[in-house]
């Protein structure tokens, strides 16, 4: 684990040297990585410049988005046709020739949890329950600080009553998801296999900013053949399994722009 890996933007030449002749396969997180964090989920728009860079890259190498958002929400927010999209933290995968859902049998459990959460949190101003097909996010960003422990207590009570679900964290949110050995890391490995990208000529590169993205960094590092790069978008030191960093979503878009230029010239 590193606290502040080198910058893939400031040390771009060293970064591209680490690719050698391999073609990148890009896996991009959405919130906090290509879209700046906003007060509410629907306000976190991806800048048009970032969308243009993603579109350009998609003509140069494989590109997938891997997000905690619901698959349809993610697809609409990114709005670039022809990409692979993984929603609900990788439980819901869709691409031009790909459709896979993991944990369909847990949807009724999520439905029950959704109802319980809305009952328990209805009286707490600012608490927001965001239902995704294979996960539920409980947002605390708009909750007054003294009330936040009440939200945490309510979420814990719901998950304790439903052992088929498990709780994970994030930026000002709790998440409930199927209690299955599945996460963004396993989804990325499954995508590499499904898309025929497991060969030596491909370098998977994952950009993410949050604790759920660490699953993907670890999964790529765990391949053991050096074929996998994690880049953590971080505005200060934090424990990460990524080996490179970027400062914020603006720098992530600038980095992807340089990568597109480099790929186009190569």
Q: Give the footprint of ligand L263DTV3 on this chain (CB under 6 A).
A: 29-32, 37-41, 44, 67-69, 130, 137, 139, 141, 170-173, 175, 210, 212
The H or E element spanning position 39 is none
Residues with catalytic function: 29
What is the 3-state secondary structure of 189-231?
HHHHHHCCCCCCCEEEEEEECCHHHHHHHHHHHCCCCCCCEEE
Shortest reach from residue 173's CB to ligand L263DTV3, in Å:
4
Residue 208's beta-bridge partner residues?
232
Mutual orientation of helices 211-221 and 184-194 as an angle, nearest 10°? 50
Shortest reach from residue 264's CB to ligand L263DTV3, in Å:
27
Looking at the Cβ atoms of 166 and 171, the one nearer to ligand L263DTV3 is: 171
Shortest reach from residue 215's CB to ligand L263DTV3, in Å:
11
Q: DSSP character for 83?
A: -
Looking at the Cβ atoms of 140 and 227, the one nearer to ligand L263DTV3 is: 140
Asked if 240 and 1 count as a contact pair (C-beta separation under 8 A), the reply is: yes
Shortest reach from residue 81's CB to ligand L263DTV3, in Å:
19
Cβ-in-10-Å burial (0-12, 13-18, 19+) of 252 comes to buried
Measure the CA dihedral 19/22/28/33, to 10°.
20
């Amino acid at each position: 684990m590193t606290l502040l890996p080198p910058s893939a933007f400031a040390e771009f030449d060293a970064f591209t040297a680490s690719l050698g002749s391999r073609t990148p396969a890009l896996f991009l997180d959405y919130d906090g990585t290509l879209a700046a964090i906003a007060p509410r989920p629907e306000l976190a728009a991806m800048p048009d410049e970032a969308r243009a860079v993603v579109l350009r890259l998609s003509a140069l190498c494989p590109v997938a988005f891997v997000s905690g958002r619901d698959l349809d929400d993610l697809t609409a927010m990114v709005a670039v046709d022809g990409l692979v999209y993984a929603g609900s933290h990788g439980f819901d995968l869709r691409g031009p020739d790909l459709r896979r859902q993991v944990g369909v049998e847990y949807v009724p459990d999520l439905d029950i949890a959704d109802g319980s959460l809305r009952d328990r949190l209805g009286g707490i101003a600012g608490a927001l329950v965001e239902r995704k097909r294979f996960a539920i996010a409980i947002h605390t960003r708009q909750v007054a600080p003294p009330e936040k422990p009440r939200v945490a207590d309510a979420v814990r009570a719901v998950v304790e009553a439903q052992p088929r679900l498990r709780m994970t964290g994030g930026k000002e949110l709790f998440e409930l998801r199927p209690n299955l050995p599945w996460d963004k890391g396993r989804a990325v490995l499954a995508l590499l296999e499904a898309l025929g990208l497991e060969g030596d000529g491909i370098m998977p590169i994952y950009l993410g900013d949050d604790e759920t993205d660490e699953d993907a960094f670890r999964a790529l590092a765990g391949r053991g053949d050096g074929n996998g790069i994690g880049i953590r978008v971080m505005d200060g030191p934090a424990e990460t399994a990524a080996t490179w960093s970027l400062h914020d979503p603006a720098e992530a878009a600038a980095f992807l722009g340089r990568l597109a230029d480099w790929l186009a010239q190569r």
